[in-house]
A = this chain, B = another copy of it.
Amino acid sequence: MKDILEQLKQQGYKLTKPREKVLEVLMHNHFAISAQDIHQKIKIIDKASVYRVLNLLEEFGLVNIENVNNEKLYCLARDPHHHVICKKCGYSEEVACTYSFDDFKNFINVQHQLTLTGLCKKCSN
């Protein structure tokens, strides 16, 4: 985490409580989590600020994002990976990303967002 805060500082961004707290949550939460749920865990921080931090992290490519049910789920971009998410209970597991989608004729800088949804063992009973 220090690394990330430092990296931001290098870019001229201040080291503030919202940035520290949001990163803390992301660090301790290896799976996909929404802005709302992040805010739930750190109510001292205003929701708007949570969103602002997440958008900053997104700009810097420091988070992976996926969309489920009209909300964005975030997690720190460590190794390239994705998540399988249970549509019913929200439980998710990490899946290594072994794919590359990059050779396009008419596009450059193509990024991929792979969202896998299904039913977890529990919910399929």
Residues of A within 8 A of B (CB): 67, 70, 72, 84, 86, 93, 95, 99, 101, 104, 106-121, 124
Contact = CB atoms under 8 A, between A and B. Distances in A.
Contacts of A120: 106-107
A66 B111 CA distance: 14
Given A67-B67, A70-B70, A70-B72, A109 B118 contact: yes
Contacts of A114: 101, 112-115
What are the nearest 5 A-B pairs in CB distance?
A67-B67, A110-B118, A107-B118, A113-B115, A109-B118
Contacts of A107: 84, 86, 93, 116, 118-121
A72 to B, nearest CB: 7
